Amino acid sequence: MPANNPDRIHIIGVCGTFMGGIARLARELGIEVSGSDANTYPPMSTQLESLGIDLQEGYAASNIPNDVDCVVVGNTISRGNPELEHVLDKGLNYTSGAQWLSEHVLTGRWVLAVAGTHGKTTTSSILAWILQDNGLSPGYLIGGVPENFGESARLGETPFFVIEADEYDTAFSDKRSKFLHYRPRTLILNNLEFDHADIFADLAAIQTQFHHLLKTVAATGLIIHNKRSDAIDEVLAQGVWSQTQSFADKTQPNTEWQATRISDDAAKFTVTKGDESCSVSWPLIGDHNMQNALAAIAAAHHVGIKVEHACESLGRFRSVKRRLEKIYADENVRVFDDFAHHPTAIRETVNALRNQVGDEKIIAVLEPRSNTMKRGVHKDQLADALQNANKSMIYADDQVLWNVDELASDLIQTFAATDDLLAAIKAELESNKSQEFANLNTSPATKPVIINILIMSNGGFEGLHQRLVGSIKS
């Protein structure tokens, strides 16, 4: 890794997962770090403060130390921000998070990047764990908290570095996708759909960025791609200069890596690569996670890990925070937290839970919070994505630019206030208790009636998760 690191940096917009990871890596390099953000709240604020980072709430020119060597500007920061304006007025040295990472951490390392619309965080976490469990002690930067590690980033002790490769733009002055700074030697392309409607006009615009990414992979590198994605096939057809391998389930012919479900919920499956085959039994569920695991196994194989050893490691994988995470359970109710916010991810998450719980009741609770969802780009797909839930509840604040009431039906309720939404969930739980009481009076041997509350949002959802669990416990 480069030795010419600055002595002191300041990060504008430090509390996002990516920029918080940059701060953590900088501290590991021995760099003094300060930072600011409009929303400094736990757990990121406490994690940063525990690292000795001087953290400021809100933006002000005075937050930037006089002796700073470089200011790292987060990609959510735009012109008009007082700290950014100060940087430009004073001619201070500045860069983006992705470029800083490239120059100070990734140079000279074997970068394993995970790109795609869905599954980046989970697949990156699986891959980092497989490498760790097989003695390779990788560095990583992931947009979530892998439970096997308990932190979102670290430098690692070997040349290998796993990174969640996001297609979102880099910074106010650099509108390339962040992943163009990473120069991977091993690249996973999980899937590709239209998203980020605030910066991309259409799918073709995203595909252009993905094709630029392919151009950065060396001829000796490896691109591992989903055989079931037509959009990825179209990107590859524009030109590939590296080795390629494909992955999919067994229904796809001429695929190097294949996975086959053993159990209905895909918690057990087989992995096949040519004459090599092994079985997996792990805590995660869903066909989408089976595919995430398959891609990670293929990437780990590229750095020398045997298929059977990677499969064994999956049995010790402990998932990722906010990925179908069970945050509460008793004999009558389970509450799950999931990051899903695109119709495909919503569908996969609901279906995975359905395959696990059988005919138990599922209430899906959704906040359309991403810029794409707020604009209503995928609104016509939402009802279908939620169809495997018994009932769905959708909350829309005044930032949502379309009429969510269009989706209202016998199976979908809409809400403009989280207080009303919480009251509706509690009413469902009370109804569930009444049904169980009636069943017990009829037949004492009747099993408890279980209700599963699946909360999906890529934000804090006004603390709905904690408020719901608190009300259940009280």
The Cα 82–Cα 181 span in angstroms is 27
**pLDDT band at residue 285, thresholds of 50, 70 and 90?**
confident
Do the beta carbons of residue 392 and residue 363 sit within 8 Å?
Answer: yes
Same domain, 279 and 370: no
**Residue 32 is part of a domain; what is its CATH number?**
3.40.50.720
d(CA 325, CA 121): 14
Q: Are 123 and 291 in contact (CB under 8 A)?
A: no
Residue 399 or 61, more confident: 61
Counted residue by residue, the chain has a size of 474
- Picking from 294, 305, 284, 18, the residue whose alpha carbon sits closest to that of residue 138 is 305
Beta carbons within 8 Å of 69's beta carbon, 6+ residues apart = 6, 7, 8, 9, 93
Residue 429 structural domain: 325-473
H or E element: which one contains 82?
Answer: helix 82-90
Note whether 347 and 288 are same-domain residues. Answer: no
Q: Residues 145-163: what's their mean pLDDT?
A: 93
Q: What type of residue is 442?
A: T
Burial class (CB in 10 A: 0-12, 13-18, 19+), 93: exposed
Q: Is 3 contained in some domain?
A: no
Task: Give residue 31's pLDDT.
Answer: 96
CB 362 within 8 A of CB 355: no
Check: CB of residue 310 under 8 Å from CB of residue 134: yes
Whether 90 and 113 map to the same domain: the answer is no
Q: pLDDT at position 438, please? A: 55
> Within this chain, do residues 281 and 420 fall inside the same structural domain, yes or no?
no
- Do both 145 and 285 map to the same domain? yes
Report which residue type is found at 374: K
DSSP of 143-169:
SS-BTTTSSSEE--SSSEEEEE---SE
Asked whether 425 and 404 are in contact (CB, 8 A), the reply is: no
Q: How many domains does the chain have?
A: 3
Assigned domain for 320 exists: no
Does the pLDDT at position 460 exceed 90? no
Do 124 and 29 belong to one domain? no
pLDDT reported for residue 447: 67
Distance (Å, whole) CA 75 – CA 251? 40
- How distant, in Å, are the alpha carbons of 333, 354, 392, 429, 432 from that of 357? 12, 5, 17, 17, 16
221: pLDDT strictly greater than 60: yes
Q: Between 76 and 82, whose confidence is greater? A: 82
Beta bridge partners of 326: 336
Output the CA angle 90-51-151, nearest 5 degrees: 115
pLDDT tens track for 173-201: 999 999 999 999 999 999 898 877 788 88
Distance separating alpha carbons of residues 116 and 64, to the nearest angstrom: 35
What is the CA angle 346-348-350, rounded to 5? 65
Collapsed DSSP state (helix, strand, coil) of residue 198: coil
Residue 411 lies in a domain: yes
Query: What's the mean pLDDT when you consider all of the chain?
Result: 90
And the tokens for 101? 């990472």
Same domain, 94 and 112: no
Residue 133: the pLDDT is 97
Q: What is the CATH number of the domain that holds 460?
A: 3.90.190.20
Domain-terminating residue out of 286, 314, 342:
314
Q: What's the CA gap between 437 and 453, in Å, rounded?
A: 20
| CB distance 75 to 167 below 8 Å | no
High-pLDDT (> 90) share of the chain, %: 63
Q: What are phi and psi of 298, to 5 degrees?
A: -65, -40
Last residue of some domain: 53, 78, 98?
98
Distance separating alpha carbons of residues 365 and 121, to the nearest angstrom:
22
pLDDT value at position 61?
A: 97
Judge contact between 111 and 183, C-beta under 8 A.
Answer: yes
Domain membership of residue 319 (yes or no) is: no
Of the listed ranges 79-83, 301-305, 413-417, the least confidently predicted one is: 413-417
Backbone angles phi, psi at 153, to 5 degrees: -155, 150
Q: Does residue 103 lie in a domain region?
A: no
Residue 1 has pLDDT above 50, yes or no: no
Residues 39, 137 share a domain: no
Residue that finishes a domain, picked among 285, 314, 343: 314
Q: 297 CB contacts (<8 Å, ≥6 apart)?
A: 130, 257, 271, 307, 310, 311, 314
Shared domain check, 153 and 48: no
CATH number for the domain spanning 252: value is 3.40.1190.10
- Structure-block tokens of residue 57: 């709430």
* 1 in a structural domain: no
- Inform me whether the pLDDT recorded for 407 exceeds 90: no
CA dihedral (361, 423, 372, 73) positive or negative: negative
- Please check whether residue 282 lies inside any domain of the structure: yes
| 340 and 234 part of one domain | no
Do residues 161 and 196 make contact, with C-beta atoms less than 8 angstroms apart? no
The Cα–Cα gap between 315 and 293 comes to 11
pLDDT, position 238: 97
For residue 6, the model assigns a pLDDT of: 80
Confidence of residue 35 (pLDDT cuts 50, 70, 90): very high
- What are the pLDDT digits (tens) for 297-353? 999 999 999 999 999 999 999 877 777 888 899 988 999 998 887 888 898 889 889
Claim to verify: residue 281 and residue 299 sit in the same structural domain: yes
Instruction: Identify whether residues 53 and 134 lie together within a single domain.
Output: no
| DSSP 8-class letter at 42 | T
Tell whether 114 is covered by a domain.
yes
What is the pLDDT at residue 335?
94
